[in-house]
Copies of this chain bind each other. A is one copy, B any other.
Amino acid sequence: MRDGEISQAVVRRLPRYYRYLGELLENNVERISSGDLSKRMKVTASQIRQDLNNFGGFGQQGYGYNVKYLYTEIGKILGLEEDHSMIIIGAGNLGQALANYAAFEKRGFQLKGLFDINPELEGKKIRGVPICMMSELKGFIQDNRVEIAALTIPKEQAVKVANMLVDNGVRGIWNFAHVDLNLPANIIVENVHLSESLMRLSYNICRYKEEHK
């Protein structure tokens, strides 16, 4: 199966299916009906059947879905069966928080290094991964064929650093800086704009109050 056949709307929902199926697997659940999955995930059973039909050839009437098979297939679509070599630029609290999240590794994201400009951090390790200085970055990317870089640095530096990363072969940027990176079309950028997320929360609280006063 080629992932091109699956609609973008389904793809946006896949990580959530993947998370629920992973939890079922951890609890040794082998099969689950769309009705049961529907109750857990709070989406309709018909939505689930429609979405998972994209993976065809299973989910037989009355037998439910094979959890492990579905989990594996969705993992393939999401690119989690391949190894992704990754670095983190910015070894402050946020960078270290990402580095400490071990679950990334079991999904194929191999953290190779963290980079910072603070000399006090040089040589320190986070879960065995060294913090290096920014001056070593260029050579490191080339030597380690780094595919993904997480940017947890201030917006003032983010644009320049992103361009340098891309010039040296990085394919995807996980951008936590509060700025839009205008990069070539072949570079994938996934933004996590935390302040925008907090504003949506604030908006929805205010709207709720307004509607219920």
Contact = CB atoms under 8 A, between A and B. Distances in A.
Contacts of A207: 3-4
Contacts of A93: 93-94, 96-97, 100
Given A195-B107, A199-B15, A188 B208 contact: yes
Nearest to A18: B199
A92 to B, nearest CB: 7
B174 A201 contact: yes
Question: Is the interface on chain A under 10, 10 to 19, 20 to 34, or 35 or more residues?
Answer: 35 or more
Interface string A63-107: 000000000000001111010100000001110111011011001
Given A96-B93, A193-B15, A199 B80 contact: yes
A19 interface: yes
Copies assembled: 2
Nearest to A203: B78
Interface in A2-19: 2-4, 11-12, 14-16, 18-19
B148 A205 contact: yes
Nearest to A2: B210
A151 B182 CA distance: 32
